[in-house]
């Protein structure tokens, strides 16, 4: 299996196909397994790069909590692209991976050909709302530490993914899932690349964030996927793949 070592942390990645590169980042408690339907559909015409975030899947789960952060995640994404000699790519992500795709664009806009965001929001500007989110994140981390992977729950994207340790996921929750500021939200109007925003019609917690982003990103296209939950690409792969196919063909 291919790995990249960065800052002493081993990151698992996959590299499929040839053509325009697409970097796919999973959501919290998911892994590269959630993207297999997209690999099968697109590897004959695009280059799909999948990877597992720190604390997830086949990547390492360092003991030091300081090794998990938004900045570490953005630099992991950059390092994988550098390792594969990819200067510019479509940056795509689900849920936490979608938020981190926006964070990657904020730091490295010249390396982003387009964005595909599924089932995610742009973070919080309101301090109280951010604190409430972080309280839920902390509770989830503590539950993972005390009860293990059996309490994961989540949508279809979690069920088709594999995980290493509950302790790693707990640290990833505190360091990557937690929200720290409004930089990503404030960056939305300045995004100048094409953006596809997807959400399942049953993904109630993220429908408001989907609309918010679509109204503020200048070149955004929003599509709600019928009969789908949070993991829309797993629930309705044909519909999501067709939306991605039309979007990518315009690039």
The pLDDT of residue 22: 99
Residue 152 confidence (pLDDT)? 87
At residue 154, does pLDDT exceed 80? no
Cβ proximity of 236 and 210 under 8 Å: no
The pLDDT assigned to 82 comes to: 98
Give me the pLDDT at residue 99, please.
98
pTM for this predicted structure: 0.97
Q: What's the mean pLDDT when you consider all of the chain?
A: 97
For residue 109, give every residue at least 6 positions away whose Cβ sits within 8 Å of its Cβ, in sequence order, or none: 192, 193
pLDDT in tens, 30-55: 999 999 999 999 999 999 999 999 99
What is the predicted pLDDT for the residue at 126? 95
Q: How confident is the model at residue 153 (pLDDT cuts 50, 70, 90)?
A: confident
* Whole-number pLDDT of residue 205: 94
Q: What is the pLDDT of residue 170?
A: 98
Share of the chain above pLDDT 90, in %: 97
Architecture of domain 3-249: 3-Layer(aba) Sandwich (3.40)
Give the pLDDT confidence of 101-123 residue by residue, as tens digits: 999 999 999 999 999 999 999 99
Per-residue CA distances from 65 to 55, 171, 172, 191, 225 (Å): 10, 6, 8, 31, 36
Q: pLDDT tens across 162-179, in order?
A: 998 999 999 999 999 999
SS3 (DSSP) at 119: coil
Residues 50-60: tens digit of each pLDDT: 999 999 999 99
| Cα 228 to Cα 22, 31, 88, 234, distances in angstroms | 23, 19, 31, 8
């Amino acid at each position: 299996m291919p790995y990249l070592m960065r800052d002493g942390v081993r990151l698992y990645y996959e590299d499929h196909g040839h053509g325009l590169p697409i970097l796919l980042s999973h959501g919290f408690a998911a892994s590269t397994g959630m993207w297999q339907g997209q690999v099968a559909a697109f590897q004959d015409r695009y280059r799909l790069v999948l990877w597992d975030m720190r604390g997830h899947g086949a990547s390492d789960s360092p003991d030091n909590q300081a090794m998990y952060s938004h900045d570490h995640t953005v630099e992991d994404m950059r390092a994988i692209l550098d390792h594969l000699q990819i200067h510019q790519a479509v940056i795509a992500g689900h849920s936490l991976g979608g938020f981190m795709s926006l964070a990657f664009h904020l730091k490295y806009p010249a390396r982003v050909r387009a964005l595909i965001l599924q089932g995610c929001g742009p973070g919080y500007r309101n301090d109280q709302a951010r604190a409430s989110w972080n309280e839920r994140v902390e509770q989830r981390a503590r539950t993972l530490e005390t009860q293990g992977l059996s309490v994961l729950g989540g949508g279809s994207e979690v069920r088709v993914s594999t995980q290493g340790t509950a302790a790693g996921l707990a640290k990833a929750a505190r360091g990557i899932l937690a929200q720290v500021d409004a930089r990503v939200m404030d960056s939305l109007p300045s995004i100048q690349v094409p953006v596809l925003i997807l959400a399942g019609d049953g993904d109630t917690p993220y429908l408001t964030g989907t609309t918010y982003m679509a109204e503020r990103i200048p070149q955004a296209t929003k599509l709600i996927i019928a009969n789908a939950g949070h993991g829309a690409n797993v629930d309705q792969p044909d519909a999501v793949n067709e939306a991605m196919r039309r979007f990518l063909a315009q690039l």
